[in-house]
Amino acid sequence: MGALLVLTTACGGGDGDDGKGGGKNGGGQKTSEAQVAIAPKDGSDGVATSGALKVTARNGKLSSVKVADSKGRTIAGRVSADGSSWVPDTHLGAGATYTVDAVAKDEDGRESAEHAKFTTLVPKNTFVGSFTPEDGSTVGVGMPVSLRFSRGITEPGAVEKAVKVTASPAVPIEGHWFGNDRLDFRPEKYWAPGTKVTVKLDLDGVEGRPGVYGKQTKTVRFTIGRNQVSVVDAKTKTMKVTRDGKVVKTIPITSGGPGTETYNGQMVISERFAVTRMNGATVGFGGQYDIADVPHAMRLSTSGTFIHGNYWSAKSVFGSTNASHGCVGLSDLRGGGNNGTQAAWFYNNSIIGDVVVVKNSQDRTIQPDNGLNGWNMSWDQWKAGQ
């Protein structure tokens, strides 16, 4: 009997023991009932940069998901309200290797983990965005952020999501598409002087059109300078230059003559040339003019509207007669330079991004996409997108 008693004691279980080597009241730990699944599978190659990555949990809730590339940069994401799934907030980079580590807990708090590693596709066709203004520049209060893409975009939502424009001090900033290859950003009103603007392009891996992916990651920063807005009145043939709310100079001008009137509207200086050639044949005026050395020229439209120096007209024209082919002319001397003329003064006191407003001309208002001139749209029109 003694031997039998010893055997029974050694083999029998205590209270609550299920005979499987552990339990809530035993010395072991039950395996978690939670199950984690990662898509794509471990070892996958050529994975799509959008829509392919997803982590799910069964019989439990996700408690941790970490996705990182080979350089340690993490991908943010969101766990669903019920804890059953996780998806990234953004696209993945192209030709990159990612690791995924996910943990879920069952209702008793026991953890289950899963690991996967995969590589995204290497695109055959790519696009980039050229941008203005330049990184590190100081620009006028009217300067938008303007991106021109090397390929026509058929997925504008995906591309716009990959461009982030912020300002300090902060203001609401919205994007607007002009056609399928240009995306501009601006606030509701002109920027405040001193504003610091940051543009982050995260286009790498974005599918902008079927089979065509972005390959650009870049940060651009620029600063808004003083507030200079110049108002050209085609009726009085004068321009008032206002800086930080004060009129600093009134300049006699000549604008477009009958049949070639200057556009009305808000126009932003997009380029500056100390001297440039102007040939009427390039803007639809045939051989009406070809001036090789136009001084102090600043572009206001893509179609050829400039505000520039004029040395070939009599000084009596300025302030009295509208005689140009659509440009705004200021009295100048041949050769340009710092020659003390009205045109030289205005050129030396202007920067890219300054605003020139034309009013009381007999022409229509300039189109918003003709140059950097989106200010000619209402805020509601701008936010409508395209």
Task: Answer whether 104's CB lies under 8 Å from 61's CB.
Answer: yes
Task: Answer whether 371's CB lies under 8 Å from 302's CB.
Answer: yes
For 177, the enclosing helix (H) or strand (E) is strand 173-178
- Residue 224: beta bridge partners? 139
The one catalytic residue in 176, 296, 325, 327 is 327
Alpha-carbon span 132 to 271, nearest angstrom: 11
For 359, the enclosing helix (H) or strand (E) is strand 355-359
Alpha-carbon span 300 to 306, nearest angstrom: 5
Q: What are the backbone angles phi and psi of residue 345, rounded to the nearest 5°?
A: -60, -45
The one catalytic residue in 176, 296, 308, 325 is 308
Owner of token pair 């996409």: 369
Task: Answer whether 99's CB lies under 8 Å from 28's CB.
Answer: no
Cα 346 vs. chain centroid, distance in angstroms? 31
Q: What is the DSSP string of 321-343?
A: ---BSSSEEEE--TT-SS-SSHH
Is the C-alpha dihedral spanning 186, 187, 189, 193 positive or negative? negative
Instruction: Kindly give, in sequence order, each residue whose CB lies less than 8 Å from that of residue 285, ignoring residues fewer than 6 positions away.
Output: 260, 325
Q: What are the backbone angles phi and psi of residue 6, rounded to the nearest 5°?
A: -65, -40
Task: Answer whether 104's CB lies under 8 Å from 115's CB.
Answer: no
Task: Answer whether 274's CB lies under 8 Å from 295's CB.
Answer: yes
Instruction: Kindly give, in sequence order, each residue whose CB lies less than 8 Å from that of residue 347, ignoring residues fewer than 6 positions away.
Output: 272, 274, 296, 298, 309, 336
Q: Is 115 a catalytic residue?
A: no
* Amino acid at site 155: E
Q: Is 11 a catalytic residue?
A: no
Helices then strands (H, E): number in the chain?
4, 27
Alpha-carbon span 227 to 224, nearest angstrom: 8
Which residues participate in catalysis according to the annotation? 308, 327
